[in-house]
Structure 1
Amino acid sequence: MMIDFSTALYLGLVHPARQLGDYPALTTGTPASLAVAPLARVLAAQAAALQGCEAGMVAPSTLHLAIDVFDKLGRTHALIADESIYPIMRWGLERVMGMGVPVAWFRHADLADLSRQIRLRWGGRPPAIITDATRRESAPVQLARYQKLARKHGGVVVVDHSQVLGILGERPSLRTPWGHGGGGALRHAGLGPDAPVLLLASWSKAFGAPLATLCGPLALISDLAREGPTQSHCSSASEAALRAGLNALALNHKYGTRLRQRVWQALRHLQQGLRRLAHSALPDLRISRQTHPMQHLCLATTARTQALHRGLRERGFRTALLRQRDGRYAVAIIVRADHAAGDIEALLRSMVALAPRLPAVSDNAAGERLFLEEREHV
């Protein structure tokens, strides 16, 4: 039996059919803009309340919502996107680019470059700043500063916060860096419902429900719900997905604090073990320093990183091998609330056992440059 460290069900929520009850049909078969499913209205309102926003809407996926958002903002705003945004957001932008809408790009998480792009925006349009909620190293973006820039110029910030919804929340502190409640990026940044921010999120991560929400200012959400292309041509999320979303909210309200504490404990356990490995069996190990359930592991060469991934799978551990922007790879290990301490210890023991079998750092026949930097070492 495989021990799975590759799935992003951070809180361990899975929504078996017995929890969702009976329903007469999976879908209404009616475009969402004509007849929103009753449960979709309920879920949208509760999602907005959780995330600290004025209003919300629900769709089957983040791609549906990305299409709606960029179709509208492309006609009224100057689109300025982080060069490292998640592919689904990029696909939404590529659609409007194909329709002739210009898109400017700023260097990843670089506020100075973003400010420069805003100053250069064409036609005097207000900016729509498009970003993920986290930087490459999983630290939160400086959302308060992004929205300050947007507000100054009459614009809006569009945030994909799929990776932090259900994890980050309000009132973060040194003792509780994730904050409380799991409401996501706006809550974590301490911003109010009047902030010019649109929060787009998949619920297939921490909440384990196959749907997506868009939350933000009431006027903008109302326009998107009425005029968005996918709202006019696609049905609402399925009844099963909506029930799973509502079940996730109920479970988050009742058990969320306890589940996030379990994830936190599993994460600290993993990070402490990886630090030990970096000082013993795997001295070239580079790991994430940030406190996110998804941890990226890199060794000094691509061959070593890939061999670690293969070796763990052979020993019964499922991890993810992620291609990085520079062409190299990282092993992603994701901890969840349902991981036992024994699962993590077994993973760490397997890494120790695999260390002598990995390709030597000197086995670099292709002339690959070593990418471990001293400042990145554990």
Structure 2
Amino acid sequence: MDFTSALYLGLDHPSRTLAPWGQFTLGTPAVLEAPPGTVETAQALAELVGCERGMVARSTLHLFWDVFGGLGGRGQALYWDEGSYPVAQWGVERAAARGVPARNFPHHSPGALARLLARESRQGRRPVVVCDGWCPGCGALAPLDAYLEVVRAHGGLLILDDTQALGVFGVPEPGLPYGTGGGGSLRRFGLQGPDILWCGSLAKAFGVPMAVMAGGAKVVARYEELSETRVHCSPPSVADLHAAERAVAINLREGDVLREELARRVGHFRGRLRQAGLSAVGGLFPVQRLQFPPGVDPRKVHERLSQREIRTVLQRSRCGPEVSVSFILTARHRAAELDQAVEVLVEAVHGRHPGRTRHE
């Protein structure tokens, strides 16, 4: 049983389900000619997440290379949540190497950010604040509304990596644990504005290895003009774009149904953990980071699960315990699989030999 895949909604896009294409790639950089459907797909994704305009790229690494490379050295300063995903931090490092002042602040702490910006406001630089929408480590949404309030008080820009939340969270709706629409964190909080730059990969819930940047029309146009990866790197392939089109269509047609199914699976898993005397961080988000009793070594638990052919993630958290074991759930997992996995997990936690049953 596999609990390592982040295809939360179970979308995998077999070739037979995609529209056909005459060329896999055009052989030209996007600055000369974008593959067919690029503009339409970027716009559909921008509207999904609640922004005016979008721009696609092969990955968030490509996007952040452009975003942070385009920051001005003297006019702006970077402030990043210390729990941010490493790819965003690589972008911060690129900006810092170009002379942009960069400081981190405590994870999910708008108060610390406010105090930091207040101290440095006399330097006259525009603050650019970087954070993730959802943190799998502590299992919580970032306080985006509070972050944005601080950013706006100083005339700054909020850069959001929303890869985890895209396709899972959406507009709050009674009876729907994740909300409706799957547009991500901005939709969850009801936030929008030209001082937000949204970035995210479709490789999780939507199952497509490409990324999109979205925001106000002017700011996206600026980064599109400054983009180095549009000149020196390949754009998403035609196949990627067709998969993205399919993912957006499925999300519109049956995304809320898939998210309800996912929530049931996560709820079932957490219920079985409680019955077994165990627990996990993550709420109803599909990444469930296990919490073990004192003295239990997560590495040994992971190894024992592997011996029973149950694949889990040995996770080094940026904001939690140094090492932990996580189960990643999808809408395709069956209740019987989850029941069996928890039974084996209990044996692994208590150090029983992988070949023995509970009655031996």
* Residue 96 of structure 1, CA deviation: 2.0
Q: Tell me if 1:148 matches 2:144.
A: no
The answer as to whether partners of 1:295 and 1:332 remain within 8 angstroms in 2 is yes
Residues 121-177 of structure 1: CA deviation (Å, up to 9, x unaligned): 57312211100112442211111121222222221111111000000001245x333
Distance 1:222 1:241, change over 3 A: same
Structure 2 CA distance for aligned equivalents of residues 299 and 185 of structure 1: 30
| Structure 2 match to 1:376 | none
309 and 74 in structure 1: CA distance in 2 versus 1, 3 angstrom threshold: farther
Quote the residue 2:37 is aligned against.
39
Against the structure 1 CA distance between its residues 34 and 332, is the aligned structure 2 distance closer, same or farther, given a 3 Å change threshold? same
Q: Are 2:251 and 1:258 aligned?
A: no
In the alignment, what sits opposite 2:356? none
Q: Secondary structure at the match of 2:300?
A: helix
Structure 1: 5+ residue stretches without partners = 279-284, 360-378
SS for the counterpart of 2:200 is strand
* Structure 2 CA distance for partners of 1:113 and 1:172, relative to 1, 3 Å: farther
- Inter-partner Cα distance in structure 2 for 1:254 and 1:246: 12
Name the % identity.
Answer: 36
Shift of 1:20: 1.4
How many Å separate the matches in 2 of 1:96 and 1:40? 28
CA distance, structure 1, for counterparts of residue 54 and residue 184 of structure 2:
14
Counterpart for residue 349 of structure 1: 343
The alignment partner of 2:180 has SS state of: coil
Question: 2:52 aligns to what?
Answer: 54
Look up the equivalent residue of 1:310 and give its one-letter code. Answer: E
Assess if the C-alpha contact under 8 Å between 1:79 and 1:129 holds in 2: yes
**Aligned residue number for residue 5 of structure 2:** 7
Does the CA contact (< 8 Å) of 1:137 and 1:290 recur in 2? no
Unaligned runs of 5+ in 2: 354-360
Q: Which residue of 2 aligns with 1:369?
A: none
Match of 1:213 in 2: 212
Q: Give 2:358's aligned residue.
A: none
What does residue 373 of structure 1 align with? Answer: none
Q: Distance in 1 between matches of 2:122 and 2:273?
A: 48
1:65-122: CA deviations, max 9, x gaps?
0111111234442111111110111111112222222211111111111012212157
Superposed CA deviations along residues 245-275 of structure 1, whole A, max 9, x for unmatched, are: 1110011111101110110000000111111
CA contact (8 A) 2:177 2:263 kept: no
Aligned twin of 2:322: 328
> 1 CA distance for matches of 2:228 and 2:262?
38
CA contact (8 A) 2:166 2:185 kept: yes
Taking structure 1 as the reference length, what is the TM-score of the superposition? 0.88
**Alpha-carbon distance between aligned partners in 1 of 2:189 and 2:331, rounded to the nearest angstrom:** 24
Is the Cα–Cα contact under 8 Å of residues 270 and 279 in structure 2 kept in the other structure? no
Distance (whole Å) between structure 1 residues aligned to residue 342 and residue 285 of structure 2 = 18
CA RMSD of aligned residues (A): 1.9
Tell me, in whole angstroms, the C-alpha distance in 2 between the residues paired with 1:229 and 1:356.
Answer: 53
Q: How many angstroms does 1:291 deviate by? A: 2.1
Q: Give the C-alpha shift of residue 289 in structure 1.
A: 4.9
For residues 198-277 of structure 1, the aligned pairs below 5 Å read 198-277=197-276
CA contact (8 A) 1:30 1:234 kept: no
Equivalent in the alignment of 2:139 = 138
Residues 1-378 of structure 1: pairs in structure 2 closer than 5 A:
3-75=1-73, 76-119=75-118, 120-121=120-121, 123-135=123-135, 136-173=137-174, 175-192=175-192, 194=193, 196-278=195-277, 285-300=278-293, 304-325=297-318, 328-357=322-351
C-alpha displacement at 1:301, in angstroms?
5.4
Contact 1:162 1:200 in 2 (8 A): yes
CA shift at 1:302, angstroms?
A: 7.3
| Local SS of the residue matching 1:171 | strand
Distance 1:229 1:172 in 2: 40
The aligned length equals 349
Question: Contact between 1:147 and 1:195, CA under 8 Å: does it hold in 2?
Answer: no
